[in-house]
Amino acid sequence: MNIEDMLTLIEAVKKHGIESFSYKNETEKIVIKKKPKQTVLASELEVLKDVQAYDNEEKEDIVSDIGSDKVVASPLVGTFYAAPSPESEPFVSVGVQVKKGQVLGIIEAMKLMNEIECEYDGVIEAVLVEDGSVVEYGQPLFRIR
């Protein structure tokens, strides 16, 4: 793959809001990852569900007023998977100690598997979605204390 192809690929990933992309053939491996833009802070799941009904500017105003819990939100729309394969144990569960950068789950979007990395050090307080469920952009996935 030449540099022009790589730049075109980077622009396509950026344009379509893809958070993670990987390509591999016999001689090359390319991985593009973009840091998620949105971290939602809230004190209760019910409040988080209510916040999803607002646009991004309204969300920021609401979220800044309601709490200090650390919540990892979905960076894209897709299918959430709690484990790397159906036979495997989940990446994390309630009560597990996690570190910043640790993989918490996977979201499949457009046939691409996007790893969801923890943004905080702490303990998983709640897993807010079920394995195999469809998630929306900005939807809370994990609450960490």
C-alpha distance from residue 131 to each of 5, 27, 84, 105, 115 (Å): 36, 34, 11, 9, 14
Burial class (CB in 10 A: 0-12, 13-18, 19+), 77: middle
* Cα–Cα distance for residue pair 132/134, rounded to 1 Å: 7
What is the SS3 assignment for 66?
helix
State the pLDDT at residue 7.
Answer: 79
Residues 118, 68 share a domain: yes
User: Does residue 78 share a domain with residue 15?
Assistant: no
Report if pTM > 0.75.
no
Question: Number of folded domains in the chain?
Answer: 2
Residues 62 and 85 in one domain: yes
User: Does residue 104 sit in the same domain as residue 42?
Assistant: yes
Task: Identify whether residues 47 and 64 lie together within a single domain.
Answer: yes
SS3 of 63, please?
helix
Clarify whether residues 67 and 127 are in a common domain.
yes
Instruction: Give pLDDT, residue 55.
Output: 52
Antiparallel, parallel or unpaired: β 40-41 and 78-81: unpaired
For residue 126, pLDDT beyond 80: yes
Q: What is the pLDDT of residues 54-107, one digit of tens each?
A: 455 544 544 443 334 688 999 999 999 999 988 999 999 988 999 999 999 999
